[in-house]
Amino acid sequence: MRFLILYALALDTYIEVVWETAVRKYRSEQLQRLIDQALDSRDADAFYQYSAELAGVRAVQAYGQVTSASKG
């Protein structure tokens, strides 16, 4: 019985990781398209906004959840 509980927990964790990875990949692709559009339209504000968000998404992909101690 313990094995089934551990298996279910491991499977739940695996599913969560796969889901979060898929969401980050989708958002990265979306942001890249928005960055390309901002470049095409010469919209510097949008470019910097989307680039910063993409950098954050990539940091999470590389290092896990990134938090800032100096928010506020």
Q: pLDDT, tens digit, for every residue of 25-54? A: 999 999 999 999 999 999 999 999 999 999
Identify whether 33 is part of a domain. Answer: yes
**Distance of alpha carbon 14 from alpha carbon 11, whole angstroms:** 5
Q: Structural domain of residue 47, as residue ranges?
A: 19-59
User: Mean pLDDT of all residues in the chain?
Assistant: 89
Percent of the chain scored above 70 by pLDDT? 89
Q: Which residue has the higher pLDDT, 67 or 71?
A: 67
Structural domains of the chain, count: 1
Is the residue at 36 inside a domain?
yes
Question: How far is 61 from 8, CA to CA, in rounded Å?
Answer: 25
